[in-house]
Chains A and B, each alone.
Chain A
Amino acid sequence: MTQNLTSMIYLGSAVLFVLSLLGLNHPDTARRGNFYGMIGMAMALAATLWAAGVTNWIMILAALLVGAVIGLFAAKKVKTTQLPELVALMHSLVGLAAVLVGLSSFLDLTKVLVGAEKTIHDVEVYIGIMVGAVTFSGSLIAFGKLLGSISGSPLLLPARHWLNLSVLVGIAILGYQFLNVDHDQALLYLFAMIVLSLFLGIHMVMAIGGADMPVVVSMLNSYSGWAASATGFMLNNHLLIIVGALVGSSGAILSSIMCKAMNRKFLHVIAGGFGTDTKKASTNPSQVLAGETTAISSLETAELLKDAKSVMIIPGYGMAVAQAQHTVFEISQILSNAGVNVRYAIHPVAGRMPGHMNVLLAEAKVPYDQVFEMEEINEDFKNVDVAIIIGANDIVNPAALDDPSSPIAGMPVLEVWKAKTSIVMKRSMASGYAGVDNPLFYKDNNRMLFGDAKTKLDEILQALKANL
């Protein structure tokens, strides 16, 4: 097959990838989009395998087969609540692959380059491997944090910004050396750089608090794209460059959306350490919280829901942890059938991954036209009779709007307190990931329903079934 034909097939598959992302504009077209992505990938694979030079068929087929089995099995078995973990783990695979491909490319001595071309190629190898290594180790740490096997609270080493900076400088110095020594020595510098990059990835993600996980996951998503792109430069493969750029910018945009949703600066999130200056909290005397909450029972909650005309459900990470989305849906169905207008309000950073709540609700078969984004629905809370908050805290904290001294000041929040009654379902009075106390709990129209979300929701469901 000629080089030009391969290039055209690559172009076709790049277009299909763009179409695949375009499909995600709307849930109706999203599945077609995913299909385009698969076709694009199949075309790219076929063209590559067909292209002259591929000889090692047995190894390739074996690797593909084993990979396919593992991948499909994982995709089938994963629980929807564990999607963030799976995605984080997969990012690490791309990162590691980028490192391996980069190393192979460096070890390959058949192509002889000279002058500027050699320098540029070496720089590409170097950067590709570095981004890959950071993605790999960072994703693994993010995976551990999401899984809970690594503590979600930020690890704050003293002088951590200087540490990061000196590692970066170290990588740059090594890079300079790497370009100016012969091949065997350069390999040593390369390995030294990999070690530093791995450390950088670990340290960076360790310093980021659990509440910022959506940013971290989308940031690593972006890195995995840049790693692919750098590999494309290195191998002079336009398809890789294009796809890497698509993925990279997609992840970058997601990170920026998440940051905006939390009113945080991207650099601040990446530099880590959120949650350190929250302890001083609010010292403003008018904001000192009157420490009295009103508890409510499941039965009373059921009564309130039954008598309401309009109910808003605000899911948070607590719902995901308790796996309560199906019960929530059953409750909302019973209420809908009784003529209650039930809607869901989703905060952009609810959960541990962008759009996490939407996926959970979709899994429970909640029709997506009942699910609203914060911006669409915030105005409507004053017409809502009961707003029920399931395992969410910071995203409904009025201090973000009222209290300029609050660490989350300025973050847009769901204004649930404007509803006639708000009910917060919580395991205890502990504060959210941001470590900020929540004045919502002390409002007169707020009720607290303490206990495990699943158990309590089941009780509500039973009470509603008995009554309606």
Chain B
Amino acid sequence: MIVGIPKETFLGEKRVAATPETIEKLIKLGFEVHVEPGAGIEANINDEAYLKSGAQIVSNISGSDIFLKVRAPSPAEIEKLKPGSTLISFIWPAQNPALLKLLCNKKINTIAMDSVPRISRAQKLDALSSMANIAGYRAVIEAAHHFGRFFTGQITAAGKVPPAQVFVIGAGVAGLSAIGTATSLGAIVKANDTRPEVADQVKSMGGSFVNVKVQESGSSQTGYAVIMSEEYQKAQRVVFAKQISEADIVITTALIPGRPAPKLITTEMVQSMKPGSVIVDLASEQGGNCELTVPGEVIKKHGVTLIGYTDLPSRLAKQSSQLYGTNLFRFLEEMCAQKNGVIHHNMNDEVIRGATVTFSGEITWPAPAVAISAKASEAKPEASTKEAHKKTEEKANPFVFIIAALLLLLVGLYAPAIFVTQITVFILACLIGYMVVWNVTASLHTPLMSVTNAISSIIIVGALLQTSSEDFWIQILSGFAVLLTSINLFGGFAVTKRMLDMFKKGS
């Protein structure tokens, strides 16, 4: 089958759906690849590089069987697609019902890269994460560009420079990427998210997690955030007002799928910021997290620069194209298990089914839901029962003491003196053994076993005393016992010594 790579026509779009690296892999899968002239020019990939990777430069790629695109196609672009062909692209079906209709009428099988289900198997196809990662990185770079100071704190001959304070709202892929980038530039990064379980991820990227102290979890079955209660939102506003007034740079990434972005930053909050501060609003395409954001533009209000770019991934065109192209390749790999250059559109596969939005003349969006992160909620009650369990274990049982005392009384009343001494010795020895052995280091447990085994051949003492008996059978039995225990005695100590000689400290 022929895979067609058109040049993106959306204004300002610099990305392209395939790079020479991904084309080589597609060809290995058995596909033929046709690239429109100049398709990669904005991402710094010239036609020659495509040719070298084995693609053909074809001026009219309408005859392709599979189209790989970045932006959702315009009506003019849809015109050029071959009926019955497969289109893989970002589509945003929820926002573009008309587009679905057009594709459907044209009998295009459409796979929306933004609708790939979020299950672990599909992570390699997750183009949203790839793009979010880039957007997060680029957001920090854009902020640094507009911010008049260093990110890292320095003490120089010319004076002291404080480190930049960065506050990141929303710790999804973009947020985490922004945290990591800002940290590595030397900034002090704080972050908040409605989903408390991401706190560890924030820490792992070098940021510190700011809590909103209301008990409510904002994660849903699909792993994305949900809308929070009024009470929570109030508490959140208080926390944000404080954090934002202290921050030099605020990066917001709060998005709830299929809804306008929540307005988290009010005009007053912007006014509370120091002049020269920067806000990067990654949610600007969905209206922005900040009231003042103008989508697609950089403006200055109240001395604060508000960056509302909607094309951050496109601003890192080569990187985005490479990652997105790889996601597309992975998808085709899923559909072409036989590596024969023919795709099999298997609607029973939950990943393929989930991403398919139009199929054989029908709209197949939205797909039935797939649940993923049910685990987190289950784990907690289990942990608490475990703790309760531990507590009951640690409590000493009074009955044990009572029974032990009774037994000792019985022995004292009825047993002969000799037995009383024996039991005294025995119990004290057990106690000593108990104390001593708990201190043995775990790495020496095997030597412990072999040395205790060796000293348990002390039974030889008994056997030796018996050998002097007059009775023939006792002599035989005890002689044999001496033999057995002496094997154990010598062997046990020798093997322990051999083991212990192997333990040595590193230089």
Query: Please, which residue of chain B has its CB at the minimum distance from the CB of A218?
Result: B449
Does A98 have its Cβ within 8 Å of any Cβ on chain B? yes
Q: Are B120 and A24 in contact (CB under 8 A)?
A: no
Quick one: which of A58-72 are within 8 Å of B by CB? Answer: 59-60, 63-64, 66-68, 70-72
Task: Tell me, in angstroms, the Cα distance from A243 to B378 when the chains sit together.
Answer: 49
Is B293 close to A, CB under 8 A?
Answer: no
Partner of B446, one of A238, A249, A354: A354
- Choose among B121, B437, B480 the residue that contacts A292 (Cβ–Cβ < 8 A): B121
CB neighbours (8 Å) of A40 from chain B are: 455
Instruction: Report yes or no: B453 in contact with A37, Cβ–Cβ below 8 A.
Output: no
Quote the shortest CB–CB distance from A360 to chain B (angstroms).
9
Known: A70-B487, A246-B433. A94 touches B465 (CB 8 A): no
Q: How many residues of B contact A (CB 8 A)?
A: 99
The tally of residues in A whose CB lies under 8 Å from a CB in B reads 127
Q: How far is the CA of A404 from the CA of B385 in the complex (A)?
A: 12
Contact yes or no, B378 A94, CB < 8 A: no
Residue with the highest number of chain A CB atoms closer than 10 Å, among B457, B504, B505: B457
| A22, A24, A353, A355 interface centre (most CB from chain B within 10 Å) | A24
**Contact across chains for B425 and A248 when beta carbons are under 8 A apart:** no
Say yes or no: A116 contacts B415, CB within 8 Å.
Answer: yes
* Contact partner, B434, options A70, A253, A370, A371, Cβ 8 Å: A253
**Residues in chain A near residue B480, CB distance under 8 A:** 63, 100
Binds B, one of A13-21, A145-153, A171-179, A447-455: A13-21
Q: Do B467 and A27 have beta carbons less than 8 Å apart?
A: no
**Contact between chains at A108 and B466 (CB < 8 Å):** yes
Q: Is B400 an interface residue (CB 8 A)?
A: no
B429: CB under 8 A from chain A?
yes
List the B side residues contacting A27 at CB < 8 Å.
Answer: 441, 443-444, 500, 503-505
Judge if A237 is at the interface, Cβ distance under 8 Å. yes
Q: Shortest CB–CB separation between residue B486 and chain A, in angstroms?
A: 3
A197 contacts partner chain B, Cβ-Cβ < 8 Å: no
* Residue on A nearest B421 in the bound complex, by CB: A238
Of the stretches B61-69, B181-189, B469-477, the one at the interface is B469-477
A residues near B, CB below 8 A?
Answer: 14, 17-18, 20-22, 24-28, 30-31, 33-34, 37-38, 40-41, 44-45, 48-49, 51, 53-56, 59-60, 63-64, 66-68, 70-72, 74-76, 78, 80, 83, 86-87, 90-91, 93-94, 96-98, 100-101, 103-105, 107-110, 116-117, 120, 217-218, 221, 224-225, 227-229, 231-251, 253-254, 257, 285-287, 290, 292, 346, 348, 353-356, 358-359, 362-363, 365, 367-371, 373, 382, 401-402, 404, 410, 442-444
Chain B residues within 8 Å of A, Cβ to Cβ: 119-121, 123-124, 204, 371-372, 374-375, 378-379, 382, 386, 414-416, 418-419, 421-422, 425-427, 429-430, 432-434, 436-471, 473-475, 477-507
B419, B456, B478: the one within 8 Å of A101 (CB):
B478
14 A-B pairs within 8 Å (CB atoms) are namely A20-B451, A34-B451, A56-B467, A68-B490, A86-B495, A100-B484, A104-B466, A241-B422, A246-B433, A247-B433, A286-B371, A353-B445, A354-B449, A382-B204
